Structure 1
Amino acid sequence: MPSFSKGSSVMPISRRRLLQGVGAGAALSLAGLPTRLFAQEKIKVAAVYTVPFEQQWVSRLHLAANAAKEAGEIEYVATENVSNTDYERVMREYAEQGYQLILGEVFGVEDEARAVAADYPEVAFLMGSSFPADDAVPNFAPFDNYIQDASYLSGLVAGAMTKTKNIGLVGGFPIPEVNRLMHAFMQGVRETAGDDTKFQVAFIGSWFDPPKAKETAFAQIDAGADILYAERFGVSDAAKERGVLAIGNVIDTQSEYPETVVATALWDFKPTLDKALSEIRAGTFKAADYGVYSFMKEGGCALAPLGTFEDKVPDEVKKLVAEKEEAIRSGNLVVEINDTEPKSS
Structure 2
Amino acid sequence: MKRGVSRRGMILGGGVLGLGAAFLPRAVMAQEPLKVAGIYTVPVEQQWAGRIHQSAEAAKAAGVVDYSYTENVANTDYPRVMREYAESGVKLIVGEIFGVEAEAREVAAEYPEVAFLMGSSFMPDAAANPNLAVFDNYIQDASYLSGIIAGAMTTSGNIGLVGGFPIPEVNRLMHAFMAGVRETRPDARFQVTFIGSWFDPPKAKETAFAMIEAGADMLYAERFGVADAAAEKGVLAIGNVIDTQADYPETVVASALWHFEPTFEAAVAAVTAGSFAAENYGVYSYMNVGGCSLAPLGSFDGKVPAAAMELVAARQAAIMDGSFTVTIDDSEPKSS
TM-score, structure 1 as length reference: 0.88
Residue of structure 1 aligned with 2:271, choices 280, 294, 304: 280
Query: 1:318: Cα distance to partner?
Result: 1.1
Is 1:160 paired with 2:160?
A: no
Is 1:187 paired with 2:148?
A: no
Partner of 1:96: 87
Q: Deviations over 1:160-209 (max 9, x none)?
A: 00000000000011111110000000000001011x21100001111111
Partner of 1:266: 257
Q: Deviations over 1:142-176 (max 9, x none)?
A: 00110000000000000000000000000011111
Is 1:176 paired with 2:168?
A: yes
Q: Following the alignment from structure 1 to structure 2, what is the Cα–Cα distance between the partners of residues 281 and 102?
A: 13
Query: 1:69: Cα distance to partner?
Result: 0.4
> Is the Cα contact below 8 Å between 2:92 and 2:114 reproduced in 1?
yes
Q: Give % identity.
A: 70
Aligned amino acid, residue 189 of structure 1: V
Q: Following the alignment from structure 2 to structure 1, what is the Cα–Cα distance between the partners of residues 69 and 30?
A: 24
Q: Following the alignment from structure 1 to structure 2, what is the Cα–Cα distance between the partners of residues 297 and 40?
A: 32
Q: Following the alignment from structure 2 to structure 1, what is the Cα–Cα distance between the partners of residues 309 and 105?
A: 44
Name the SS of the counterpart of 1:53 in structure 2.
coil
Aligned amino acid, residue 52 of structure 2: L
- Which 4+ residue blocks in structure 1 deviate beyond 6 angstroms? none
Query: 1:282: Cα distance to partner?
Result: 0.9
> Is the Cα contact below 8 Å between 2:165 and 2:194 reproduced in 1?
yes
Query: 1:135: Cα distance to partner?
Result: 1.0
Partner of 2:106: 115
Partner of 1:133: 124
Aligned amino acid, residue 145 of structure 1: N
Query: 1:252: Cα distance to partner?
Result: 0.3
Q: Following the alignment from structure 2 to structure 1, what is the Cα–Cα distance between the partners of residues 42 and 250?
A: 28
Q: Following the alignment from structure 2 to structure 1, what is the Cα–Cα distance between the partners of residues 143 and 193?
A: 17
Partner of 1:50: 41
Aligned amino acid, residue 205 of structure 2: K
Q: Which has the higher helix share?
A: 2
Aligned amino acid, residue 268 of structure 2: L
Q: Which has the higher contact order (CA 8 A, sep 6+)?
A: 1
Q: Following the alignment from structure 1 to structure 2, what is the Cα–Cα distance between the partners of residues 132 and 173?
A: 19
Query: 1:41: Cα distance to partner?
Result: 2.1
Residue of structure 2 aligned with 1:315, choices 299, 306, 309: 306
Name the SS of the counterpart of 2:122 in structure 1.
coil
Query: 1:40: Cα distance to partner?
Result: 3.0
Residue of structure 1 aligned with 2:66, choices 75, 92, 95: 75
Query: 1:39: Cα distance to partner?
Result: 2.5
Name the SS of the counterpart of 1:135 in structure 2.
coil
Query: 1:316: Cα distance to partner?
Result: 1.5
Aligned amino acid, residue 124 of structure 2: A
Q: Deviations over 1:5-31 (max 9, x none)?
A: xxxxxxxxxxxxxxxxxxxxxxxxxxx
Q: Following the alignment from structure 1 to structure 2, what is the Cα–Cα distance between the partners of residues 316 and 72?
A: 45
Query: 1:42: Cα distance to partner?
Result: 0.8
Partner of 2:246: 255
Name the SS of the counterpart of 1:170 in structure 2.
strand
Name the SS of the counterpart of 1:127 in structure 2.
strand
Name the SS of the counterpart of 2:43 in structure 1.
coil
Is 1:301 paired with 2:300?
A: no
Runs of 5+ consecutive residues of structure 1 not aligned to the other structure? 5-37
Partner of 1:18: none
Partner of 1:199: 190
Q: Aligned pairs, how many?
A: 309
Q: Following the alignment from structure 1 to structure 2, what is the Cα–Cα distance between the partners of residues 179 and 40?
A: 42
Q: Following the alignment from structure 1 to structure 2, what is the Cα–Cα distance between the partners of residues 221 and 105?
A: 32
Runs of 5+ consecutive residues of structure 2 not aligned to the other structure? 3-28
Partner of 1:212: 203
Q: Deviations over 1:295-321 (max 9, x none)?
A: 000100000000100110111211110
Name the SS of the counterpart of 1:272 in structure 2.
helix
